[in-house]
Amino acid sequence: MDENSTISVSGAYRAMFEFVYAYWKRGGEQDEVGSMLGDIQFGKAGPTETADPAQWSDWLAAVEKVTK
């Protein structure tokens, strides 16, 4: 997926839903939301590097799922 691709606002919302839903399915609990937010914050390298690098690829997979 091209990092410069654009999607609609509703598409972005659906992608975030898929992202959070996939996190929950892997065993995420409500009290882990703060931890998840820490994992998904952007690192020093900018908007293609998250604190937990696996989270960026999970996000791209969610966007791809919604935009297909």
**34 in a structural domain:** yes
Q: Each residue of 4-13: pLDDT tens digit? A: 788 886 778 7
**Does residue 40 lie within any of the structural domains?**
yes
Domain of 43?
29-68
The answer to whether position 68 is within a domain reads yes
In tens, the pLDDT along 11-62 reads 787 788 788 888 877 876 666 777 877 788 777 776 667 888 888 888 888 9
Q: Which residues contact 42 (CB under 8 A, 6 or more apart)?
A: 49, 50, 51
Q: Is 41 a domain residue?
A: yes
Q: How many domains does the chain have?
A: 1
Tokens of 15: 């992608």
Note whether residue 17 is domain-resident: no
Structural domain contains residue 23: no
Question: How buried is 57 (Cβ within 10 angstroms: 0-12 exposed, 13-18 middle, 19+ buried)?
Answer: exposed
pLDDT score, position 20: 83
